[in-house]
Structure 1
Amino acid sequence: MKYVKWIFVVLLIGSLTSFVEKDKPTGGLNVGDIAPDFKIQSMSAGQPLAELSDMKGKYVLLSFWASYDAHSRMQNASLSNVLRSASRNENVEMVSVSFDEYQSIFKETVRKDQIVTPTCFVETKGESSGLFKKYRLGRGFTNYLLDENGVIIAKNISAAELSAYLN
């Protein structure tokens, strides 16, 4: 009988703390935050991307993904297709960053997914990279739409939402 009381107390405390976690953001940055600046090496041209802050004045779609994460890969490909087919996308620049640890896997995935953006990069340090940590992607890959001042105005935007925004 003594142990039953303790088990009940532990279950009660556990159920109360589970409600606290539900109000927290799911991870990463949130709408209204300023996107952290970064510079990343381009694998094709050998030139580093100008710092993210150099893109101010344009809307930027940051897409973080990896070939082993089916959802983020699919999302990245569909967003790339929307921007490629949109007639008025000159004001939106897509920066696609893969966290694949092998350049060969990244290149094959880009080829298969037909991603033809000149700003498609790979961070071969994967999840241990500073960029992964800076954007707090530990709970999953995401994408961010930034306004002309680098402020996040949308998070986890779908291809349909992006298409509607462009029109």
Structure 2
Amino acid sequence: MKNLKSVGAVLLLFLMLSFANTNEPKVGIKVGQKAPIFQVGDTIDGHFDLKAEKGKFVILNFWAGYDAQSRVSNVKIQSAIDKLEAHDNIRFVSVSFDMNENVYRESVRLDGLSESTHYYDKNGEKSQIFRDFRLQKGFGNYLINPKGVIIAKNFSPEKLTQLIRQ
């Protein structure tokens, strides 16, 4: 009987702790959730680590040269960012999922994109980043706040300008 009470007390404590509200958003891809942490290398200008950007807003965009919708969106978002006043606490990151690095580099060159903000994931649609963000045709974009929480998703360049100026 004594062991049964001990087991019951432990189970009760476990249940109470499992339902405790930590006020920490869970990791996911929805607005209000923490963005999945990732790193990407093999770039024109170094590598990117989302974890290292804590304390900054991050505009995260996914695209590929072979996906016309995502490529056009990438150019428009880059253009909108170029028109904004300089902000030290905002980081733009664009990840390409082209399977061929030459296609990626040529797309960056032809589209007049900044090499310092564009990164290449050589694993393409088979990459962990692609899976973590559950990307599909047309890919997408995210605005992540300084705490790593997604505050907007799949926004237009015009909406981005409004969000940044708030």
TM range (shorter): 0.7 to 0.9
Q: Is the 8 A contact 2:59 2:144 kept in 1?
A: yes
Q: Report the equivalent of 1:154.
A: 152
Distance in 2 separating the partners of 1:128 and 1:34: 22
Deviations 1:44-95 (A, max 9, x none): 24x432x211101110001011111111111111111111221143321111
Which segments of structure 1 move beyond 6 Å, counting only runs of 4 or more?
none
Q: What is the CA distance between 1:115 and its match in structure 2? A: 1.0
CA contact under 8 A between 1:80 and 1:117: conserved in structure 2?
Answer: no
Relative distance call for 1:89 and 1:75 in structure 2 (3 A) is: farther
Query: Which residue in the other structure is 1:48 paired with?
Result: 47
Moved more, 67-76 or 56-65: 67-76
Contact 1:57 1:148 survives alignment (8 Å): yes
Match of 2:142 among 141, 144, 157: 144
Aligned counterpart, 1:135: 133
> Counterparts of 1:101 and 1:54 in 2: how far apart (Å)?
26
Identify if the C-alpha distance between structure 1 residues 104 and 68 changes in structure 2 by more than 3 Å, giving closer, same or farther.
same
Q: TM-score, normalised by structure 2?
A: 0.77
Measured after TM superposition, the shift of residue 138 of structure 1 is 3.6
Supply the AA of the counterpart residue of 1:136: R
1:97 counterpart residue number:
95
1:117, CA displacement in angstroms? 4.9
| Alignment-derived partner of residue 77 in structure 2 | 79
Give the conservation status (yes or no) of the 8 Å contact 1:89–1:166.
Answer: no
Distance 1:52 1:156 in 2: 18
CA–CA distance in structure 1, aligned partners of residues 72 and 138 of structure 2: 14
What residue identity is the alignment partner of 1:107? R
Cα 1:162–1:138, aligned 2, differ >3 Å: closer, same or farther?
closer
Question: 1:84-143 CA distances to partner (integer Å, 9 max, x unpaired)?
Answer: 221143321111000000111001111111111512111121111111111111454010
- Tell me the equivalent position of 2:109: 111
The aligned counterpart of 1:33 is 33
Deviation string for 1:3-45 (max 9, x for gaps)?
xxxxxxxxxxxxxxxxxxxxxxxxx821111111111114224
The answer for unaligned runs of 5 or more in structure 2 is 1-27
TM-score (norm 1): 0.76
Cross-structure match for 2:17 = none
Q: Is the 8 A contact 1:88 1:166 kept in 2?
A: no
- For the 8 Å contact 2:29–2:36, the answer to whether it is kept is no
